[in-house]
Amino acid sequence: MRALRLMEDLLAIEAETKFLLTAKDRSYEQTLMQELLRIFKEAERLFGPRDASYQLSIPRITECASSRTYIFPPLRVTRIYLSHNSKTKPWVASLELAHEAVHVLSPAGFGFAPTILEEGLAEWFAQRYVGRVHGYEFERGANPKADAVMRAVSTLLAKNESVIKNLRTRQPTISKIDEKLLVEVAGIKPDEAKFLSTNFLSYFRTSR
């Protein structure tokens, strides 16, 4: 896992180096930025305002297998890096932009990993966006853990789509929304709140 993360980090650095050292048409990256801004309008309508103290940088295309967001708290800068598939598949670029946009709404800074709530919300929003914009349908059943995350978040939002916006009036950073707040504001059961506030990476590292 650490070796893979290191490799992905190096590929992100490579993307920055190529941008600085090579002269090429950057219109596609500008197009991605415009789509990202449209995505944020929708995300903010559903989930509340983005932390505007962080500057948005133009997305970069990498050779990575998946997308990722880098957040630089001292500089108050964020950048989304998209996977190599986003170069040839517009729906993948949209999916990754929408997913990462949720992580950029309220950066937690160093020391905070995304919770099941934040990661599930990011995927729920991304799939909803791509389904509407590209007509792409997503299948379930391939990964029971991923299905459990999506089911928990979908159930939460089915009761009240404004619940995240309401929660963020009390705790603006999504990954810092805890069990107590979920029970108080969302009105869900303690065991559901505990699951949603669980560290996402820890959950996926445990055996099924």
pLDDT tens digits, one per residue of 57-96: 999 999 888 999 988 777 888 999 999 999 999 999 999 9
95: Cα within 13 Å, side-chain hemisphere: 19
Residue 18 structure tokens = 């190529």
What's the start-to-end Cα distance of the chain, in Å? 17
Mean pLDDT of the chain: 88
- For residue 10, the enclosing domain spans 2-205
> What does the pLDDT look like over 13-49, one tens digit per residue?
455 555 554 556 578 899 999 999 999 999 999 999 9
Sole residue written with tokens 């600085």 = 20
List CB contacts of 85: < 8 A, sequence separation 6 or more. 92
C-alpha to C-alpha distance for 118 and 157, rounded to whole angstroms: 13
Q: How many domains does the chain have?
A: 1
Residue 7: per-residue pLDDT? 46
C-alpha to C-alpha distance for 63 and 141, rounded to whole angstroms: 28
Residue 204: per-residue pLDDT? 86
How many angstroms from the chain centroid is the CA of residue 184? Answer: 25
Confidence of residue 3 (pLDDT cuts 50, 70, 90): very low
